[in-house]
Amino acid sequence: MTSSSNSIIQSRRTGKLLDIVLIVVVTFASLLCLAPMIHILALSLSGNSAIMAGKVTLIPLDIDLTAYKAVFGNAQMIRSLGFTVGMVTLYTVIAMTMTVMAAYPLTKKHLKGRDTFLFIIVVTMFFSGGMIPEYLLVKNLDLLDSIWALVLPGAINAFYLLIIKTFFSSIPLELEESARMDGASQFKVLLGIILPLSLPVLATISLFYAVGRWNGFMDALLYITNPNLYPLQLRLYEMVMNSQVNSMLEGIGATAPVPESLKAASIMFATIPILLVYPWLQRYFVSGMMIGAVKG
């Protein structure tokens, strides 16, 4: 009895020790992930002399908000922010609608050609047409220099479609059969039963679509030449890569921030809005991704 008690106590101590080790490792890894963002934030808030002297690490020195005043006072950045918010919203709505409408029929085992459709979808995860054919397709569809060039080509992601399809398949079939016996159509079953039960995976995939579109700039670099249609990330890319900061410095005078501070403030300006979305969807994130991935 004593030996058993000692074994239980030892097991508990070992478990607590492992928990402490895991907490330390996760905390350290989290700090490593946050360090670059904290450094950029410190640069954006620091004064010119501290930045030029290379003294800024993770703590702002000589607090100065001039860089943020320059960014928020720049009409092009504000226009790009408004355009990006509208474009991401439109893209997410269209992408989720098309993905759900494609995933739901694929859950029906009696659908003719179901395996063929699934095979075609899976193939697109490993092979693509390539950059030049995609550009020619967008050009021939007369989508260049329009918001639709950024919305339609990536409206369905095959991986996300399969996750949603797997989640739909995990919903008990009896719920759908009872609704059909009451005269509900397939569309009504989808809206009234399937979607309300699928909020975790729908919120998760919506977040993935929105973040992917918010961070994307390569397609905008290829398809958009009109500066009024530049998304925020493309505007930021051009500024950081080509040092196009002179327009932001106009009218600021002798107290103008150094380019490093201005670039850092612009990065924070482009990053914080999408970060604010996470707290609203955090409770759905893990459950939605895991259930959609492992159930079948």
Residues 46, 93, single domain; the answer is no
User: Quick one: 186 and 287 in the same domain?
Assistant: yes
Q: What residue ranges of the chain have pLDDT lower than 70?
A: 1-8, 240-258, 281-296
Residues 172 and 283 in one domain: yes
Question: Residue 43: in which H helix or E strand, if any?
Answer: helix 2-45
Residue-level pLDDT at 282: 66
**Domain shared by 272 and 125, yes or no:** yes
HSE-CB for 110 with a 13 A CA cutoff: 0
Tell whether 30 and 173 lie within a shared domain. Answer: no
Q: Is residue 106 part of a domain?
A: yes
> Given this model, what pLDDT does residue 95 score?
95
- Structurally, the chain folds into a number of domains equal to 2
Looking at the fold, whether 35 and 168 belong to one and the same domain comes out as no
pLDDT tens per residue, range 1-52: 456 666 667 777 777 888 889 999 999 998 888 888 888 889 888 888 888 8
pLDDT at 50: 84
Residue 264 pLDDT? 86
Host domain of residue 244: 66-294
Do 42 and 80 reside in the same domain of the chain?
Answer: no
Query: For residue 254, what pLDDT is reported?
Result: 47
- Residue 36 included in any domain: yes
Q: Does one domain contain both 23 and 161?
A: no
* Cβ atoms of 273 and 85 closer than 8 Å: yes
Kindly state whether residues 47 and 149 are assigned to the same domain. Answer: no
Residues 120 and 16 in one domain: no
Examine residue 37 and state whether it is found in any structural domain, yes or no.
Answer: yes
Query: What is the per-residue pLDDT for 293?
Result: 45
Residues 208 and 276 in one domain: yes
Q: What is the pLDDT of residue 292?
A: 45
- Is residue 100 located within the same domain as residue 25? no
Asked if residues 224 and 234 have their Cβ atoms less than 8 Å apart, the reply is yes
User: Given this model, what pLDDT does residue 158 score?
Assistant: 92
| φ/ψ of residue 230, rounded to 5 | -70, 125
